[in-house]
Amino acid sequence: MSDKQTIKHRGAKGEFHFAYDDLHQPADDGVDMKIHQELIVFIIWAISFVALSVALPNFFTEGNLISLLRSVSVLGILAIGMAIVVIGRGIDLAMVATMAVSVAGAIVLLQQGYSIPVALLAGFVFAVLVGTVSGILIAYVEIPALFATLAMGLFIYGVGRFGFFNQDIVLIPPEGGSLSWLGAGRVFGIPVSILFLLLFAGLVALFLRYARIGRFIHAIGDNPSTARITGLPVRKLYVLSYILSSTIAYCAGIITATGVGSMNTRIVNSTMLYDVILVVVIGGISLSGGKGGVRNVLVGTLLIGTLLNAMTIMDIQYTVQNVIKSMILLIAIIVDSLLNPRDEQTAQQGDI
Amino acid sequence: MTDILELKNVTKDYRGVYAVKSVDFTLKKGEIHALLGENGAGKSTLTKIIAGAVAPSSGEMLIDGAPTSFAAPKDALAAGIVMVYQENSLVPALTVAQNIYVGRERFYNRLRGINIAAQQLMQSLNFNVDPTATVATLGAAQKQMVEIARAVSQNARVVIFDEPTATLTPEEKHHFFGLMRRLKQSGVAIIFISHALEEALNYADRITVLRDGEMVTNGRTDAFDRDSIIRAMVGRTLSKDIYGTAAEERSIRKPGKKVLSVSNLSMANLVKSNSFSVFGGQVTGIFGLIGSGRTETAKIIAGVLKRDFFHGGEVHFHDQSVRYITPQPAVRDGIVYVTEDRKLEGFFEAMSIGENIGMGDQAINGGPLSVYSMVRVRRLAGEWIKSLNIRAINEDAKVIELSGGNQQKVVIAKSLVQHPKLIIFDEPTRGVDVGAIVEIHNFINSLADAGLAVVVISSYLPEILAISDRVLVMRNGRIVEEFDGETTTEEKIMYAAVH
């Protein structure tokens, strides 16, 4: 008999209790759902790949497939960097600006006669600095990531355009010619940039899955308050994640610039940033943090790369391509919010 | 006097568990009616039923003798029932007049028009508030006046105040009750919920006491005194069954070494000059009503919150003065806090049981470059799942899919894996099923037996009595009384906790 009475007691004590249970409909979202989204995207990719191979005569050729992969390798690397930040429940809107300005700065040093290692190191240090400042603004000053990185991107582009270089396109001088292997070289016929994509994918996948710090980034994205109470260095981890995204952006920029012999800083004003977010979200990394990994980025990269390539082959106007991309991004974000609803209780004000 | 409102046999249950059970309640025209009871006694649910915010599961509500049911608060509003919630619902950026008429503006809203109307309203109530002042610039008492004026402007016949005096200074309280009397004279019936018994005894015409969702007693105020109310609030016979036996069987543990000593701890107006000590090898229970600053005190000790920078007091842990600005150093020193709100800050919902426990371990073990060892995590998870009897298919189950009791055990395991010397449980059995309550209590006892300093914060008296060797009572941001766990009674503790 005591059981029955106790139930009544607890009930009287806690509407809380029941509100809890109502929220906790045995939820098999989380990983299961996420795998679903990843799988759905993969299947869509496979179907469109087969369909395009049949429909477009120039699509399924060795040359085109390699150019497809090469065209998305930089996008993929950027998306891997972005994924680290998004898993930690942030976003880095300064990535493309960091990439353009740090690389352009390095090239300017080359033009002025500094040696290759010095120039590359200077660009790297600049990228680390940008990530550190963004991270400090977000973690310690507690500015929402969206605004902090947006402002940071505008700021460094302005500084770069004003102080480092005065043309939009910064050409790599002949002394830097040996670098062109990074962007345009081939190993066994495979472009080096694709190998770099795979290298970054492998390293970051290992980091996120098996490094203590990598697991911590999942934890702060999952629930920052819990992470704090558990004794994780939440603020330092935020800063670290922005440093990682900035340095990965720098590496992607080096590959871009060496591939074409110049850095076109106008990409800061292009849709590239949105393509990066598109890849991250469409692969199934939730903007609410804590979920997903490198596999999701690769799946997203494949799909977007294939679509972009096919649209180019079909000679679809650039502006129309943007309409199609933006539609896909919108749908992906809506599907994300349906599959990974952000819980009101754990939602933090200010971030995305 | 006639009954303006009558509840007959009203029940509200959540899936068979009663928040309010078969309550009869009457409210007469022009009376002040105090509704008293412990935290969770059902006062809020009952008033929400009256205000149309919660629909009763069964029972009848009569207004002026006619059966009524409200689908939404706006129906209750139309019937003249207004509820003033504890956190005031005014828009800080708008003026007093705008706040009074917010939501009821005409299509063309003339500020001058509402200012004049508000001015007249304020004068008729004899309130001294400038209608053109911005609400953000007002004090707590003046805000309360605006709330009341708004209620009156909606032609309220019944006004319900939920803990109206909790945020007021003594002077403001005095003023507030003056307002309440004036409202009463104009024929409005008033229900007020309060933890302060003196207020009820001094100002109410009638008193109703709720306990565990049931109406225990009601009557005219002169039939009550402080002692009889407290007895009515806590007088349980039922709870002895599961908590009482456990309490009688055990013996009180003697205090060990002094582990924590807190002196003059202060934070804003939530914790005021709080001083106490915690000893190893025993369970120190902290009882207090909601808002007494228990959680805040615990969180300051564990580094989750920061005490006041100036005159914030001292915390000594193992005779070392400590001042944590984040929980990380506190956890490393051996102080862990098990939260009262596990979903908000207790566990990682997208992670498995094993990973949650692993996070606790990794937080204190390993350097910046170390590898997250799956083998270690699996071993730890296996051990803790076994020793805490966490029921799940395996350690890969998501925490969010578990029952409340098992979730709580995961949170406890995540904290214990950090080898604490002082562990603070905040409402350890909130939202936990009956079987798990007993298990968690046994577990807390075994921790104290093993020599740990254990603090249990609870607002549920039987729980405090069942597991505490020493009971500290908090009121208004400080420890006001200390009891020996063996000899104290629910009445004594409650007497100290209410004001």
Per-residue pLDDT at A230: 94
* Tokens describing residue B139: 């004090």
> Which of A20, A31, A229 to mutate to probe the B interface, most B CBs <10 Å?
A229
Give the number of beta-carbon pairs within 8 Å between A and B: 179
Q: Is the pLDDT of residue A18 over 50?
A: no
pLDDT band at B92 (very low <50, low <70, confident <90, very high): confident
In whole numbers, what is the pLDDT of chain A averaged over residues?
A: 83
Q: pLDDT digit string (tens) for B246-255? A: 555 567 888 8
**B371/A8 Cβ within 8 A:** no
Beta strands B189-193 and B66-68, pairing class: unpaired
**B400/A24 Cβ within 8 A:** yes
* Tokens describing residue A325: 């991309």
Q: Is the pLDDT of residue A139 over 70?
A: yes
Cβ B430 vs Cβ A14: under 8 Å: yes
Per-residue pLDDT at A241: 97
- Does residue A22 lie in a domain region? no
Per-residue pLDDT at A10: 37
Beta strands B58-63 and B320-321, pairing class: unpaired
Nearest to B448, CA basis, from B262, B163, B250, B154: B250
Nearest residue, CB atoms, A11 vs list B17, B39, B242: B17
- Enclosing H/E stretch for A254: helix A234-260
Domains B3-238 and B240-497 share a fold: yes
Per-residue pLDDT at B68: 85
| Distance (Å) from the alpha carbon of B352 to chain A's nearest alpha carbon | 10
Per-residue pLDDT at B436: 81
Q: Furthest-apart CA pair in chain B: how many Å?
A: 77
In this prediction, residues B58-67 reach a mean pLDDT of 87
Nearest to B395, CA basis, from B433, B357, B367: B357
In this prediction, residues B119-129 reach a mean pLDDT of 82
The b/e string for A197-225 (b: 16+ C-beta within 10 A; e otherwise) is beebbeebbebbeebbbbbbbbbbbbbbb
Per-residue pLDDT at B248: 56
Q: Please report, rounded to a whole number, the percentage of residues in chain A having pLDDT higher than 90.
A: 46
Per-residue pLDDT at A28: 38
Cβ A10 vs Cβ B17: under 8 Å: yes
Q: What is the DSSP string of B252-306?
A: PPPP-SEEEEEEEEEETTTEEEEEEEEETTEEEEEEE-TTSSHHHHHHHHTTSS-
CA–CA separation, A112 and A314 (whole Å): 43
Q: pLDDT digit string (tens) for B289-324? A: 877 889 999 999 999 999 988 888 999 999 899 999
- Does residue A197 lie in a domain region? yes
Nearest CA in chain B to A230: B360
Nearest residue, CB atoms, B339 vs list A28, A30, A229: A229
| A15-19, A258-262, B45-49, B325-329: range with lowest mean pLDDT | A15-19
Per-residue pLDDT at A9: 37
Give burial (CB, 10 Å; 0-12/13-18/19+) of B158: buried
Q: Is the pLDDT of residue B245 over 70?
A: no
**B304/A12 Cβ within 8 A:** no
Q: Is the pLDDT of residue B169 over 90?
A: no
Q: pLDDT digit string (tens) for A194-211? A: 999 999 999 999 999 999
Question: Is B423 in a helix, a strand, or coil?
Answer: strand
Those residues whose C-beta lies under 8 Å from the C-beta of residue A105, and which sit 6 or more positions away, are A122, A123, A126, A160, A164, A165
Query: Which structural domain, as residue segments, surrounds residue A191?
Result: 34-339
Q: Is the pLDDT of residue A69 over 80?
A: yes
In whole numbers, what is the pLDDT of chain B averaged over residues?
A: 85
Higher-confidence residue: B30 or A250? Answer: A250
Nearest residue, CB atoms, A225 vs list B45, B345, B374: B345
CA–CA separation, A102 and A124 (whole Å): 7
Nearest CA in chain B to A18: B14
- Does residue A8 lie in a domain region? no
- Does residue A260 lie in a domain region? yes
- Residue A295: how many CA atoms within 13 Å on its side-chain side? 11
**A1/B358 Cβ within 8 A:** no
Domain positions in chain B are 3-238, 240-497
Higher-confidence residue: A1 or A307? Answer: A307
Q: Is the pLDDT of residue A336 over 90?
A: no
* Tokens describing residue B422: 């002082």
CA–CA separation, B242 and A10 (whole Å): 12
Per-residue pLDDT at A31: 43
In this prediction, residues B331-344 reach a mean pLDDT of 91
Per-residue pLDDT at B498: 81
CATH fold for the domain made of B240-497: Rossmann fold (3.40.50)
Per-residue pLDDT at B358: 92
Nearest CA in chain A to B19: A12
Q: pLDDT digit string (tens) for B452-488? A: 999 999 888 888 888 899 999 998 888 999 998 878 8
Q: Which CATH number fits the domain that encloses residue A207?
A: 1.10.3470
Nearest residue, CB atoms, B349 vs list A21, A222, A235: A222
- Does residue A20 lie in a domain region? no
Per-residue pLDDT at B167: 65
Sheet holding B32-36, edge to edge: B81-84, B158-162, B189-193, B32-36, B206-211, B214-220
**B15/A20 Cβ within 8 A:** no
- Does residue A349 lie in a domain region? no
Give burial (CB, 10 Å; 0-12/13-18/19+) of B386: exposed
Higher-confidence residue: A286 or A340? Answer: A286
| A1-15, A256-270, B298-312: range with lowest mean pLDDT | A1-15
Q: pLDDT digit string (tens) for B414-452? A: 999 999 999 999 999 887 776 788 889 989 999 999 999
What is the tally of structural domains in chain A?
A: 1
**A223/B345 Cβ within 8 A:** yes
Q: Helix and strand tally (H, E) in chain B?
A: 18, 20
In this prediction, residues B346-364 reach a mean pLDDT of 91
- Does residue A193 lie in a domain region? yes
pLDDT band at B499 (very low <50, low <70, confident <90, very high): low
In this prediction, residues B3-30 reach a mean pLDDT of 84
Q: pLDDT digit string (tens) for B128-154? A: 888 898 988 887 778 878 888 888 888
| Distance (Å) from the alpha carbon of A5 to chain B's nearest alpha carbon | 7
Q: Considering only CB atoms, which chain B residues are within 8 Å of A8?
A: 17-18, 21, 212-213, 238
Per-residue pLDDT at A341: 63
Q: pLDDT digit string (tens) for B18-27? A: 788 888 898 9
Q: How far apart are the first and last CA of chain A?
A: 50
Q: Considering only CB atoms, which chain A residues are within 8 Å of B460?
A: 13
Nearest residue, CB atoms, B368 vs list A9, A209, A213: A213
Nearest residue, CB atoms, B344 vs list A31, A290, A346: A346
Q: Considering only CB atoms, which chain B residues are within 8 Å of A227?
A: 348, 359
Q: Please report, rounded to a whole number, the percentage of residues in chain B having pLDDT higher than 90.
A: 28
CATH 3.30.310.80 applies to domain B3-238: no
Per-residue pLDDT at B335: 95
Per-residue pLDDT at A48: 87
Question: Angle at Cα A310 formed by Cα A307 and Cα A312, nearest 5°?
Answer: 110
> Which of B352, B362, B369 to mutate to probe the A interface, most A CBs <10 Å?
B362
Phi, psi of A176 (to 5 degrees): -90, 10
Per-residue pLDDT at B416: 94
Higher-confidence residue: A164 or B388? Answer: B388
**A31/B398 Cβ within 8 A:** yes
pLDDT band at B105 (very low <50, low <70, confident <90, very high): confident
Predicted TM-score of the model (pTM): 0.77
Nearest CA in chain A to B329: A231
Per-residue pLDDT at B408: 92
Higher-confidence residue: B288 or B104? Answer: B288
Phi, psi of A263 (to 5 degrees): -115, 115
Q: Which long-range contacts (CB under 8 A, 24 or more apart) does B196-200 make?
A: B196/B165, B196/B498, B196/B499, B197/B36, B197/B226, B197/B229, B197/B230, B197/B498, B197/B499, B198/B226, B198/B499, B199/B34, B199/B165, B199/B173, B200/B34, B200/B36, B200/B229
Nearest residue, CB atoms, A17 vs list B328, B344, B431: B431
> Which of B45, B339, B407, B434 to mutate to probe the A interface, most A CBs <10 Å?
B434
CA–CA separation, B61 and B6 (whole Å): 6
Q: Considering only CB atoms, which chain B residues are within 8 Å of A209?
A: 372
Question: Is B216 in a helix, a strand, or coil?
Answer: strand
| Distance (Å) from the alpha carbon of A124 to chain B's nearest alpha carbon | 21
Question: Is A191 in a helix, a strand, or coil?
Answer: strand
In this prediction, residues B356-379 reach a mean pLDDT of 89
Nearest residue, CB atoms, A229 vs list B17, B327, B437: B327
Higher-confidence residue: A334 or A127? Answer: A127
In this prediction, residues A45-74 reach a mean pLDDT of 87
Per-residue pLDDT at A203: 96
CA–CA separation, B391 and A40 (whole Å): 33
CA–CA separation, B491 and B474 (whole Å): 15
Nearest to A343, CA basis, from B345, B384, B167, B189: B345
The DSSP call for residue B36 is E
**B302/A229 Cβ within 8 A:** yes
Nearest to A283, CA basis, from A93, A85, A88, A79: A79
In this prediction, residues B14-18 reach a mean pLDDT of 69
Q: Is the pLDDT of residue A348 over 80?
A: no
Cβ B302 vs Cβ B424: under 8 Å: yes
CA–CA separation, B468 and B483 (whole Å): 10
Q: pLDDT digit string (tens) for A208-248? A: 999 999 999 999 999 999 999 999 999 999 999 999 999 99
